[in-house]
Amino acid sequence: MDNANTWAKDIIGAAMASQAQPIAPPADADTFIVATHKDMIVQSLEEHLPAPLRIREQVYITEAASFIDYWQRFASDASVIFADLNQRRFRAMFDYHEPRSPKWCEHGATLICDHSTEWKTWSAANAKPMDQATFAEFIEANAVDIVQPAAAEMIQIALTLQAKTKVDFASGIRLDNGQVQLTYQEKIEGSAGPKGELKIPEKFTLALRIFQGGEKYQVEAYLRYRIKEGKATFFYQIIRPERLIEDAFEQVKKQVETGCTGAAIFATA
């Protein structure tokens, strides 16, 4: 029995002696903890060190140049970049795993390819029918983005639509020069007035940045109309917008590949 009591006292003494004693980390450790027997709690003392043991940071960036600068500052041989077309972003992971050497993956930077203001404006109204006045106001407000036909010509079409709200549209004829000629008849105090014609382009071209801070693209759109009971509605359809986004993303990817020297870039679903 005496031996058993001695053995128990030794265990209790060792536990009490170690209570609240810090466990010093080796030179390459990334944790610094203290173990206590009270409430069986393990506490980190890292916050009391002069500096953290590793970087824990997730940075979000909206310009490729800033993303490249950040990569050049923190990248190591183990750092990688993931490219995600669906989310339109690039994610750099600086403390990434290596073969037979797992890492914490807590330091990253994400380049978000946000759409430009003008792309958001034109894509939001894409394929949405508008009455004469609404369509005219939209064209007039955003004519600065139109390069073909000339912006002044599109503004003149908009002004004509604004002035000819009291008319009945009859039909449209496609002309040899790629325009469409709409005929209308003015209404004067309930009776038929003089007839007129309005020529509109079948297509027009915009110069738009797809992503904020990116280069401008030539964006083609069909100009459409519908006539019902003498009233005309207008809308436009951007041609293959998804292809434009894919191409713009590829251009950013090339910029990242060039600037982020030695980066392994993986595509994600």
Which tens digit of pLDDT belongs to each residue from 3-29? 555 655 565 555 555 554 444 555 555
Q: Return phi, psi of residue 71, to 5°.
A: -60, -45
- Alpha-carbon span 87 to 107, nearest angstrom: 20
The predicted model gives 135-154 an average pLDDT of: 94
Does the pLDDT value for residue 222 go beyond 70? Answer: yes
pLDDT value at 176 more than 80 = no
Average pLDDT value for residue range 170-176: 76
What's the predicted TM-score (pTM) here?
0.74
Are the beta carbons of 209 and 217 closer than 8 angstroms? yes
Q: Is the pLDDT of residue 250 over 50?
A: yes
- When mean pLDDT is compared across 79-88, 188-197, 227-236, the lowest value belongs to 188-197
Contacts of range 67-73, beta carbons closer than 8 Å, 24 or more positions apart: 67/92, 67/109, 67/111, 67/256, 67/259, 67/260, 68/255, 68/256, 68/259, 68/260, 70/109, 71/109, 71/259, 71/260, 71/263, 72/259, 72/260, 72/261
Residue type (1 letter), 238: I
pLDDT (0 to 100) of residue 93? 96
Q: What residues have CB less than 8 Å from 80, skipping those under 6 apart?
A: 92, 93, 96, 263, 264, 265, 266
Residue that has been written with the tokens 């009971």 in this structure: 229
**Strand, helix or coil for residue 162:** helix
**In terms of residues, how long is the chain?**
269
Q: Which residue has the higher pLDDT, 169 or 89?
A: 89
Look up residue 50 and give its two tokens. Answer: 């002069």
User: Which of 119, 78, 89 lies closest to 219 in space, CA to CA?
Assistant: 119
What's the sign of the alpha-carbon dihedral 66, 255, 251, 85? Answer: negative
Give me the phi and psi of 268, to 5 degrees please. Answer: -120, 155
Whole-Å CA distances, 46 to 43, 50, 67, 241:
9, 9, 29, 51
DSSP 103: -
Give the separation between CA 164 and CA 186, rounded to whole angstroms: 8
Nearest-angstrom CA–CA distance, 102 and 116? 39
Give the pLDDT band (50/70/90) at residue 192: low
Range with lowest mean pLDDT among 32-41, 90-99, 251-260: 32-41
Strand ranges inside 62-127, DSSP E: 80-84, 89-93, 107-112
Close Cβ partners of 40 (under 8 Å, ≥ 6 residues apart): none
pLDDT at 234: 93
Does residue 39 surpass a pLDDT of 80? no
